[in-house]
Every structure is written in structure tokens, then in C-alpha cells.
């Protein structure tokens, strides 16, 4: 099909106007999506659960780690220290998240949260992506300390080849509480 070339001034003017309208519509969609996500941050937690808001932080994996190189990466003692982001980075992110509504009942005290990886570094979670870091409450029944127990167990299973890396990551990308029940035991009441 031959390419149509705009030759008249009128056709060029209409083309520019359509382009501007398209740009305004795109900007409006982006603004609406931003406000929509901000609204999703409110009431992120309830007392019954410390699960992250999947719309804000769905989790992310480290693309440099795969099943074939776990013996040179996650299964090496001390490897997570080599990829863990600095506290200055995680504290700044935690502060931002807490003050943008990602908190428990309006509590923005940074000491009440652990900036945690949804997919833990021990099973090749992305170290610094904001999609993989969230302010996990310490003061609730199902807190960060319980999740740490599951992280350690899944890491051992993956390194012993009793669970694939992808299966280990999937536990944290879905619902870590279900993973805890399956691999660690009953959750506290």
C-alpha cells in the first residue's frame, strides 16, 4: 500500500492537532493511574496480615541469578551481603513509602517497620527494585520475624535442590503465609 503524504497546510494542521489531543489523553491516563495507585496505598495492612500491597509492590527477581548459577550466587555463604542495598537507600525508600500511605493505620514511625524484600535475597529477589521492597510491619501477629523463618527454610530447600529456584520465588510472589504453613508449620494465633 502506498504511503500517504500530507501536502496541504490544512492536513498538516489537523495532524498536529490530533497529535496534541493524543498527548493530552495519554497524560490524563497517566495522571489517573497515578492517583489510582496512590489510593491503593491507603489501608495497605490490617492487623490480621502483613502481606504487601501487590499493586504497589508485586515483587521482582534478580535477573542475574538462575537455577544454573545458584552454587555461585545464593548458595554461597555471605552472598546476600554482596547484593544487599545500603541502609541509606532502603531507609529513604521506607520513609517515602510510609509517608505516601503505605503504612499500618497511619503509623509512619520507621522503627515499626522493616524495609523487606518481597522475594528475599536468599532466593534471588531483586536487591534494589522498589517493586520488591516494602515497609513490613513489626508490630503485628504475622510480622517480619515470621517471614524470616520461611525465607531461611526456602533458601535451604532451594540450595539442597529439594525445591527449584522458581518454585521458591513463587512462594513469596503469591502469599508467604500459605508458604509458611506448608514449609514451616502452623502460624501463631
- List, for residues 136-180, the tens digit of each pLDDT value: 988 888 888 889 999 999 999 999 999 999 999 999 999 899 999
- Domain locations in the chain as residue ranges: 67-183
Chain segment 110-142, per-residue pLDDT in tens: 999 999 999 999 999 999 999 999 999 888 888
Q: pLDDT confidence of 47, banded at 50, 70, 90?
A: low
What is the pTM assigned to this prediction? 0.74
Q: How far apart are CA 75 and CA 160, in angstroms?
A: 9
The answer for residues whose C-beta is within 8 angstroms of residue 46's C-beta and 6 or more apart is none
Q: How far apart are CA 183 and CA 7, in angstroms?
A: 69
The answer for residues whose C-beta is within 8 angstroms of residue 120's C-beta and 6 or more apart is 151, 154, 155, 172
Q: How far apart are CA 32 and CA 66, in angstroms?
A: 37
Amino acid at each position: 500500500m502506498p504511503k500517504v503524504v500530507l501536502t496541504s497546510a490544512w492536513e498538516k494542521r489537523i495532524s498536529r492537532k490530533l497529535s496534541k489531543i493524543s498527548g493530552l489523553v495519554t497524560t490524563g491516563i497517566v495522571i489517573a493511574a497515578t492517583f489510582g495507585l496512590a489510593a491503593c496505598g491507603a489501608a495497605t495492612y490490617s492487623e490480621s496480615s502483613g502481606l504487601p500491597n501487590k499493586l504497589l509492590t508485586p515483587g521482582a527477581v534478580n535477573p542475574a541469578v538462575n537455577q544454573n548459577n545458584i552454587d555461585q550466587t545464593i548458595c554461597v555463604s555471605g552472598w546476600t551481603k554482596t547484593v544487599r542495598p545500603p541502609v541509606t537507600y532502603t531507609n529513604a525508600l521506607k520513609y517515602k513509602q510510609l509517608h505516601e500511605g503505605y503504612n499500618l493505620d497511619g503509623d509512619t514511625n520507621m522503627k515499626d517497620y522493616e524495609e523487606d524484600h518481597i522475594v528475599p535475597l536468599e532466593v534471588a529477589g531483586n536487591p534494589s527494585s522498589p517493586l520488591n521492597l516494602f515497609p513490613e510491619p513489626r508490630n503485628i501477629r504475622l510480622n517480619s520475624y515470621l517471614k524470616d523463618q520461611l525465607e531461611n527454610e526456602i533458601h535451604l530447600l532451594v540450595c539442597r535442590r529439594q525445591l527449584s529456584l522458581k518454585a521458591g520465588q513463587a512462594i513469596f510472589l503469591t502469599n508467604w503465609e500459605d508458604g509458611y504453613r506448608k514449609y514451616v508449620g502452623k502460624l501463631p494465633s
